[in-house]
Amino acid sequence: MRLGAIEAGGTKMCCAICDENGNILERMTCPTLKPEETLPVMRAWFEDKNIDCLGIACFGPIDLHKDSETYGYVTTTPKPYWGNTDFVGAFRSLGVPIGFDTDVNGSVTGEATFGIAKGIKNVVYLTIGTGVGAGILCEGNLVHGMLHPEGGHILLTKRADDPMEGSNCPFHPNCFEGLCAGPAIQKRWGKPGKELGDREDVWDLQAWYIAQALVDYTMILSPEMIILGGGVSHQTQVLPMIRKYYAEFMNGYLKTKELEDLDNYIVVQSLDDNQGILGAAIIGLKELQAQG
Amino acid sequence: MRLGAIEAGGTKMCCAICDENGNILERMTCPTLKPEETLPVMRAWFEDKNIDCLGIACFGPIDLHKDSETYGYVTTTPKPYWGNTDFVGAFRSLGVPIGFDTDVNGSVTGEATFGIAKGIKNVVYLTIGTGVGAGILCEGNLVHGMLHPEGGHILLTKRADDPMEGSNCPFHPNCFEGLCAGPAIQKRWGKPGKELGDREDVWDLQAWYIAQALVDYTMILSPEMIILGGGVSHQTQVLPMIRKYYAEFMNGYLKTKELEDLDNYIVVQSLDDNQGILGAAIIGLKELQAQG
């Protein structure tokens, strides 16, 4: 089959044709400009590609309620021009079933279908990059709830030696994203994370915050695996520090085979940053199957 | 139908015969002594009750993996005598299908079947009493994951004016249960919560912690409703304070119809403390239906 897929991000859009075995047959990337510029470019690209379905994994917040008047919309995003945009509607004239979900639900679907979490039914995928978000597979289902998880905005305890006043989030003085996303690192240390690779104090603090968040994810969802994606997944020196603090914070409270082996419990994305687009393809395939 | 139900708690056991409409036809309560004393008493009570199935909602930690050798066991509980106890096994000779889940999953099932959350598919039930626990219905499924949620052990930020050093949890210096459960209140203020009903400082701090936890639950699970049970649900003066702090911490970040109406988003248990036993009955009924 030919599965159309879109990974819609705040700075770029990735379009691809995939097959059901996790191969990417064709790919096109374009910058995220205004909706009236970018959506037609993508639609035109798919026009003659003979796709069976389309899956869209989209930045948020988005409306996932199928019975809502604004289903398929990007809703209240602060991103210029994109608020209240009918994303799915731009592709309806392709005449194929369209699946729609969050970017991070795309990534967790990719990893649970083709990647390191293949076959696992309870998985948390956390992207820590420009923002922080959570894609969650729970008992085999993607979590949506009343809206969709906004897992970057859980509240953390600030460390006394954090040199940043408050956080970088305009809403929350101590949320995960406000303390750990790329712009927070830039604000705190005056440089982007990728220029701070050898600064142990930077990553020690980062690991301390991330570990705190992971403990909360474990306590609430009891996932069988936690996958880290986004920029942090390329700073591999931070991973052992995260595991060390995680074990310290858990303090032996839970005994499971998964937690006895943190090297395989807290892992990084395994699909070379293709987890989102491959997951988008599967989200489209599932919609095709659901429509029978 | 005659649905057998057990709500197994650390201090008492409640056994009942229910029907599928939420009526409790008969009930028996006994103290939780040693397993070899208490389990036979309960088993004998059900012996001649002509039940179609049995549902057990049990204190934890428990083993919920059906393919595990210790499925149906209470596992590593610190409760004297009950560690490594085959709870389900004690009832197999009744010859009926047996459903088994956590006490809090029993409560959320009761509320989502007969109570205030009837028909809602994404619900968090938090009991705040002797301990703190979370029963979670997510996209219509009870959450188990690698073990089951241990939602009382999420980490909170301590408030500077909290007179208690550390927390009351032997594992975590700042977890929800360690700061908010009944024994923490007793340790902090020298009296049990029910003797402190008119102390505004007590409930202000309690509400501040609970609201922080509820924000994390909303961000991770995006539930459509959060139900509070346990002792705190009888201190109704605390509810408006929780909602006030919750709104303050959220700071308008999420816009949904549910969050515009916090009086109906953060609520107390609605079944007069029968949510657990009624949910247990439904857990048994579902096992009966699953076995066809």
**DSSP structure string for A119-170:** T-SSEEEEEESSSEEEEEEETTEE--TTS---GGG-B-PPPTT--SSS-S-S
B10 and B64 housed in the same domain = yes
pLDDT tens digit string along A90-104? 999 999 999 999 999
CA–CA distance, B79 with B68 (Å, rounded to integer): 22
CA–CA distance, A210 with A214 (Å, rounded to integer): 6
B66 and B187 housed in the same domain = no
pLDDT tens digit string along B199-242? 999 999 999 999 999 999 999 999 999 999 999 888 889 999 99
A13 and A52 housed in the same domain = yes
Residue contact B154–A216, C-beta within 8 A: yes
pLDDT tens digit string along A175-218? 999 999 999 999 999 999 999 999 999 999 999 999 999 999 99
Residue contact A155–B215, C-beta within 8 A: yes
Q: Does residue A111 form part of some domain?
A: no
For residue A288, CA distances in Å to A43, A52, A90, A136, A246 come to: 19, 8, 18, 22, 40
Q: Does residue B113 form part of some domain?
A: no
- CATH number of the domain encompassing residue B14: 3.30.420.40
CA–CA distance, B246 with B198 (Å, rounded to integer): 22
Examine the pLDDT at B173 and tell me if it is beyond 90: yes
Closest CA to B230 of B123, B131, B92: B131
Average pLDDT over residues A134-149: 97
A184 and A79 housed in the same domain = no
Domain hosting residue A256, numbered range: 118-268
Average pLDDT over residues B28-51: 97
Q: Does residue B112 form part of some domain?
A: no
Q: Does residue B259 form part of some domain?
A: yes
B75 and B134 housed in the same domain = no
| Residue B151 near chain A (CB below 8 Å) | yes
Residue B78's pLDDT band (cuts 50, 70, 90): confident
B164 and B252 housed in the same domain = yes
The span from the first CA to the last CA of chain B, in angstroms, equals 15
Q: Which residue has the higher pLDDT, B255 or A100?
A: A100
Residue B54 sits at φ, ψ, to 5 deg, of -135, 135
| Residue B120 near chain A (CB below 8 Å) | no
Predicted interface score ipTM higher than 0.95: yes
Residues of B numbered 198-227 whose beta carbons fall under 8 angstroms of chain A's beta carbons: which are they? 212, 215-224
A160 and A284 housed in the same domain = no
Say how many domains are in chain B.
Answer: 2
Mutation target among A62, A104, A146 for the B interface, most CBs of B within 10 A? A146
Residue contact B256–A146, C-beta within 8 A: yes
Q: Does residue A80 form part of some domain?
A: yes
Q: Does residue A161 form part of some domain?
A: yes
Residues of B numbered 75-114 whose beta carbons fall under 8 angstroms of chain A's beta carbons: which are they? 75-76
Q: Does residue A112 form part of some domain?
A: no
A129 and A249 housed in the same domain = yes
| Residue B21 near chain A (CB below 8 Å) | no
Q: A114: which residues sit within 8 A by CB, 6+ positions away?
A: A22, A271, A275, A278
B82 and B208 housed in the same domain = no
pLDDT score, position A233: 87
Which residues does chain B have within 8 Å of residue A150's beta carbon, measured at their own beta carbons? 218-219, 222, 253-254
Q: Does residue B101 form part of some domain?
A: yes
Which residues does chain A have within 8 Å of residue B126's beta carbon, measured at their own beta carbons? none
Chain A nearest C-alpha distance from B93 (Å) = 30
A169 and A234 housed in the same domain = yes
Examine the pLDDT at A225 and tell me if it is beyond 90: yes
Is the C-alpha dihedral spanning A26, A31, A35, A40 positive or negative? negative
CB A149 within 8 A of CB A178: no
A259 and A277 housed in the same domain = no
Residue contact B220–A134, C-beta within 8 A: yes
A251 and A281 housed in the same domain = no
pLDDT score, position A213: 98
Residue contact B254–A150, C-beta within 8 A: yes
